[in-house]
């Protein structure tokens, strides 16, 4: 194992997230697991765009710094929780990509069944509840989601993604931010068109064929609505997540169905519609 090369890879990804505008000033942090007991970690208060291999420190699996002249990032605990929950994960990237972070700030669930690449590479993306960054409670916010996704949106904060290499860990964040930018632009144009259930199922079949996991393919989720964020919906209330900017997809669409119609009304909307209808009928009877 070439540890110096691993440090270089961290610096390369740090430069990339800085140049992409994903990590302003000293934002963000990156880890890379050396073995079962040691993890490379970026230092605190250091721009990710100007890292050198000698800047990278080493921590143990409890977050204690064991090597390096610069102090480790306080958010290393979040990375370690992911690695403990997913032993196959070797690298974690945390940053603040602006378009994905806009969804984090709005606590708006990220729509599914829109872009084929996103269905194949990401799937349903959860939003955690908010905790002050840096501590154990913050680190544990990812635990309800970590097994069923490779990228997580941190409420009012940013994103964290992870994989078997630092390059792969970064990929998921870049794909997510590009997608969120497309969603925001499409909303400004007018509307988003959802793929049908059949079209999305075809993408999930391809995903399985190519060796990418997705909880919608698992037995316990076989009856979920694959386009309705069903995998993580139970967590929304506790995290303050609610659809406000983007409509929910029409349920159980057949291929080629028209998706321009509004989504089904909520109980509150139905009550309002009924109230208005009654008032109109009463007014007509008096005329």
Which positions ≥6 away from 268 have C-beta within 8 Å? none
Q: What phi and psi, each to the nearest 5 degrees, are found at residue 24?
A: -70, 150
Number of structural domains the chain divides into: 1
170-228 residue pLDDT tens: 999 999 999 999 999 999 999 899 999 899 999 999 998 888 888 988 867 777 888 99
140-156 residue pLDDT tens: 999 999 999 999 999 99
One digit per residue, pLDDT tens: the chain, 287 residues? 799 999 999 999 999 999 999 999 999 999 999 999 999 999 999 999 999 999 999 999 999 999 999 999 989 999 999 999 999 999 999 999 999 999 999 999 999 999 999 999 999 999 999 999 989 999 999 999 999 999 999 999 999 999 999 999 999 999 999 999 999 999 999 989 999 989 999 999 999 888 888 898 886 777 788 899 999 999 999 999 999 999 888 875 444 444 443 444 455 555 566 666 666 666 656 65
CATH of residue 143's domain is 3.40.225.10
Ordered DSSP codes for 86-136 = -TT--EEEEE--HHHHHHHHHTPPPP-SS-HHHHHHT-S--BPPP--TTSH
Question: 245 near 106, Cβ under 8 Å?
Answer: yes
The encoded tokens of residue 218 equal 């698992």
Evaluate the CA torsion angle 277, 279, 281, 287 in order and state its sign. Answer: negative
What is the pTM (predicted TM-score) of this model?
Answer: 0.85
* Domain membership of residue 103 as a residue range: 1-287
């Amino acid at each position: 194992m070439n540890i110096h090369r691993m440090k270089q890879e961290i610096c390369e990804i740090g430069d990339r997230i800085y140049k992409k505008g994903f990590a302003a000033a000293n934002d963000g942090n990156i880890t890379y697991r050396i073995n079962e007991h040691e993890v490379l970690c970026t230092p605190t208060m250091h721009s990710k765009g100007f890292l050198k291999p000698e800047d990278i420190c080493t921590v143990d699996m409890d977050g204690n710094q064991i090597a390096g002249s610069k102090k480790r990032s306080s958010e290393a605990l979040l990375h370690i929780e992911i690695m403990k929950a997913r032993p196959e994960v070797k690298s974690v990237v945390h940053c603040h990509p602006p378009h994905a972070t806009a969804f984090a700030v709005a606590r708006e669930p990220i729509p599914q069944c829109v872009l084929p690449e996103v269905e194949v590479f990401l799937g349903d993306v959860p939003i955690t509840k908010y905790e002050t960054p840096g501590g154990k409670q913050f680190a544990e916010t990812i635990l309800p989601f970590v097994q069923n996704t490779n990228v997580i949106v941190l409420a009012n904060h940013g994103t964290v993604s992870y994989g078997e290499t630092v390059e792969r860990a970064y990929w998921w964040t870049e794909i997510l931010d590009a997608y969120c930018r497309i969603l925001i632009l499409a909303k400004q144009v007018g509307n988003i068109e959802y793929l049908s259930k059949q079209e999305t199922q075809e993408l999930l079949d391809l995903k399985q064929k190519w060796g990418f996991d997705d909880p919608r393919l698992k037995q316990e989720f076989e009856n979920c609505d694959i386009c309705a964020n069903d995998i993580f919906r139970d967590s929304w209330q506790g995290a303050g997540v609610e659809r406000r900017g983007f409509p929910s997809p029409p349920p159980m669409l057949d291929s080629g169905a028209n998706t321009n119609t509004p989504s089904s009304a909520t109980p509150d909307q139905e009550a309002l519609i009924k109230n208005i209808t009654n008032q109109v009928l009463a007014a007509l009877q008096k005329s």
